[in-house]
Structure 1
């Protein structure tokens, strides 16, 4: 049989455009349902008479916050209610309250979409990824900064590291005129924290505010990290980079059940989203089902085993075409100096490091 050539990047993107059309009623319903679920979860976390129910309310609040963030994220891409003035105001307010001011979010996230899987690009809006050669040439302080940025503890406390610091404090300090909304978000957040503690007590502050935020932002930061940091990720040389390849080869598909897909706003269809970010979140499964080239993605899950494995992938090794651990880079450097074939070294996961 004659082999059919794969579509070009432009052709593949063009085939996604019919799905980048929203249903206004469906968008409005999803927005109303999400905010109603959030209000119900907050009420349970605040007013439940039994503390275990308040914990349940806080966990549900954290999960719904992730979904609410995905709606904000879609709106910033112009995929959700782009012509609605009231929706624009609503999402601007949501961004302030959830530590994702629209200005800094758009600046960094658009950069991320334009530079996914580009080693040479600035890492603004994403987690930096170095090659093993960059790691070996870096100074001790540079290595420390890289390791801290990608450390599991940094991801676990994404509420502080990614949101309070990276999206609010740092941009406001660097450019207060452009990123004044980041300063506003920080100020509002501090004021809310103090008010909740003083007027409602530490229990409400813990169960309905800081606890859900810690959980939501830990999971959200991990999702963002893992969707471009997985075992089968491919980072192409600059001359071979295309938008479609970056979407399909450097963005994963998170396989999860329908309940978790609802809470995460279908962000697990990340390869489809990166191919065309103007597709509303509720049409991502439809696009994947209709386009054959999107049906063989790199799959990740939220199983403990996959999470641990993902967090152990630290550096890109071009000669292997895969991510490796820090110690694998050191093994390869030692083998090269000793003139030992590096294929003799094997990583802890059983993969040859060459």
Structure 2
């Protein structure tokens, strides 16, 4: 199953690069190639992610080898990705370690007590345009070149990964042409946008789980702090079952190619937070964690109201 998943993913990536090379200057070929390459990148990222958990292969050395090879496509050094992602698992749902999560969240009380400048920054940060359009560009071209915890994990790995990735880009341009390179860049950004959306919905639904360190349990965080995306078989194929995120957090040793069958086998006893397409889109309105109701909520005031209250020098009260 592992080699089959890898072969299919490599085939999708190869098709995405081949189309623009075979039909250079053709916008349709570029568009299709970008979509195919982006789909393949999402699959390869899921595989690299599993390699970081040492779950894709049973052999630990094979996981390390493949994970380091796949960083050419994901854009981030494998050792740093593994370290940061394991922090995410360790601190899932922990309000005292929110820096370990992909998408930062403020509590309602923090937001209401914050100065106007911080409120405006947080509003801009949580806007869909920032998260899903600007964010992927900054992550791929800036953050991944020197990821968080690089000095703690391995500066050498990050530098070698950057050199290898730029060399790989040069080979693509030399042997396949600029249009294949354009498909690589566009496909990577498409994959980044959709990938961030999936991660966002995976933890940013209304009844998710956030607690202080003393009150948080790993089991409860896995059961209630991650969702199960039901976006259809095509999305399951593209994500390599990454959407079954709650089950993954409950047991990270289940490889991606077994997640769907494992989920089906325990469906009757599994009270998962299933989210369909409509539910996924509705998650965009949840911006703050309310400590009193233990739910995600929208912003308690409009931007105009926040500006007005700050101008008058009054602290806003919650309007839920």
* TM-score for the superposition, normalised by structure 1: 0.76
Structure-1 separation of matches of 2:201 and 2:147: 24
Q: Spell out, residue by residue over 1:116-173, the C-alpha distance to the aligned partner (whole angstroms, 9 max, x if none).
A: 111111413422222111122334454455444433223323433233333332548x
Structure-1 separation of matches of 2:51 and 2:153: 24
**Cα root mean square deviation, aligned:** 3.1
Quick check: 1:242 aligned with 2:217?
yes
Structure-1 separation of matches of 2:269 and 2:45: 25
Report if aligned partners of 2:38, 2:187 keep a CA contact under 8 Å in 1: yes
Structure-1 separation of matches of 2:96 and 2:28: 49
Report the counterpart of residue 156 of structure 1 in structure 2: 133
Report if aligned partners of 2:287, 2:299 keep a CA contact under 8 Å in 1: yes
Report the counterpart of residue 59 of structure 1 in structure 2: 35
Report if aligned partners of 1:265, 1:282 keep a CA contact under 8 Å in 2: yes
Q: Trace 1:196-235 onto structure 2 (pairs within 5 A).
A: 202-206=178-182, 208-235=183-210
Structure 1 residues 299 and 221: alpha-carbon distance in aligned structure 2, compared to 1, 3 A threshold: same
Q: Spell out, residue by residue over 1:199-232, the C-alpha distance to the aligned partner (whole angstroms, 9 max, x if none).
A: 86553332x2211111011111111122100122
Quick check: 1:167 aligned with 2:144?
yes
Correspondent of 2:59 among 83, 87, 98: 83
Correspondent of 2:244 among 260, 269, 287: 269
Structure 1 residues 302 and 197: alpha-carbon distance in aligned structure 2, compared to 1, 3 A threshold: farther
Structure-1 separation of matches of 2:267 and 2:14: 39
Report the counterpart of residue 23 of structure 2 in structure 1: 48
Structure-2 separation of matches of 1:275 and 1:31: 24
Correspondent of 2:89 among 96, 110, 113: 113
* TM-score for the superposition, normalised by structure 2: 0.84
Deviates more, 1:216-225 or 1:182-191: 182-191
Structure-1 separation of matches of 2:173 and 2:205: 40
Structure 1 gaps of 5+ residues are 1-25, 346-352
Structure 1 residues 203 and 288: alpha-carbon distance in aligned structure 2, compared to 1, 3 A threshold: closer
Report the counterpart of residue 2 of structure 2 in structure 1: 27
Report the counterpart of residue 287 of structure 2 in structure 1: 314
Structure with larger Rg: 1
Number of matched pairs: 311
Structure 1 residues 299 and 278: alpha-carbon distance in aligned structure 2, compared to 1, 3 A threshold: same
Corresponding residue SS for 1:60: helix
Structure-1 separation of matches of 2:271 and 2:22: 46
Structure 1 residues 328 and 82: alpha-carbon distance in aligned structure 2, compared to 1, 3 A threshold: farther
Structure 2 gaps of 5+ residues are none
Structure-1 separation of matches of 2:316 and 2:57: 60
Report the counterpart of residue 104 of structure 1 in structure 2: 80
Shift of 1:326: 2.4
Shift of 1:61: 1.2
Structure-2 separation of matches of 1:257 and 1:122: 30
Report if aligned partners of 1:289, 1:295 keep a CA contact under 8 Å in 2: no
